[in-house]
Structure 1
Amino acid sequence: MRLTRSDPATVPAPPPGRYSHAVQVTSGPMLYVSGQIALGADGGIDAPGDMARQSEVVFSILERILAAHDASFADVVNVRTFVTDLGLLAEYAEVRGPFFGGGLPTSTTVEVPRLFHPDALLEVEVVAALPG
């Protein structure tokens, strides 16, 4: 197996369905994807003020970037998320969850005062172990 996900019994368990404490990559090239925001084709933010919709757009963009490299969310080993309001985290988590299924990456989520676009509520970057 190329990826081994683990939650050692020597540390508190992560919340169910949220993330893995560690993911070991045993072989293969890595893909580092820059942080993505919910930019629409017109260069504006899709759905200002709507965390669920912005999350859907961001994960759709990430999915297409991964696919362009013959990868999927099953290959993602780390997710780093920046949000402008942790109070909206449940909306983000509800959208994010189905993209990963059972193969949970390591994860960090941080609240920031703002992102580079004033209407962006979140920015998400990923690291994936490329198949093959």
Structure 2
Amino acid sequence: MKKTVDNPAGVPAPPPGRYSHVVRLEVGDSTILLLSGQCSVDDDLNVVAPHDTRGQSERIFEIIGKILDAHGAKFTDIVNIRTYLTDIGTRAEYGEVRRRFLDPEQLPTSTTVEVSALFLPEAVIEVEVMAVLPRSGE
């Protein structure tokens, strides 16, 4: 098994020394991508669309898409998605955005929970995913 960590260009860099955006595991004929939980932030780590589940969801899926793309993956490669909401009552707003990105014929396993707070006070949602794709020839 080969393990690499990455913080792809084009997405807001995580705070230095805290975490990596993605761990890439090369296992047999497959590549597994484990993405850290993503919040709706800009390049300066300011919250985009404060307190707005729909707006934050849009930004989060944009960031996830860029991370997946940097590793040759697509949304259809996602096999698991975990969502943390500060208000479970806004899950319909999140669901509207999520449905635009995920293939209804290949839905990943999913967990959605309400949490009391996220690490940024204006953040109302955090999403982490795991994707699996055929290993590319290197």
Which category describes the TM-score, using the shorter chain as reference length? 0.7 to 0.9
Matched, 1:71 2:73: yes
Of all paired residues, the percent bearing the same amino acid is 50
Partner residue in 2 for 1:5:
none
> Alpha carbon RMSD of aligned pairs, Å?
1.3
Give the aligned length.
107
1:128 to 123, 128, 131: 131
- Cα distance, 1:27 vs. partner? 5.0
By relative contact order (CA 8 Å, sep 6+), the higher-ranking structure is 1
CA deviation profile, 1:44-95 (whole Å, cap 9, x unmatched): 1001121111000000000000000000110000000000000100000000
Matched, 1:52 2:51: no
- 3-state SS of 1:36 partner: coil
1:115 to 103, 115, 118: 118
Partner residue in 1 for 2:102:
100
Q: Give the TM-score of the pair, scaled to structure 1.
A: 0.77
- Runs of 4+ with >2 A deviation: none
Structure 1 CA distance for aligned equivalents of residues 134 and 78 of structure 2? 11
Structure 2: which 5+ runs fail to align?
1-27
- Cα distance, 1:42 vs. partner? 2.7
- 3-state SS of 2:59 partner: helix
Q: Give the TM-score of the pair, scaled to structure 2.
A: 0.74
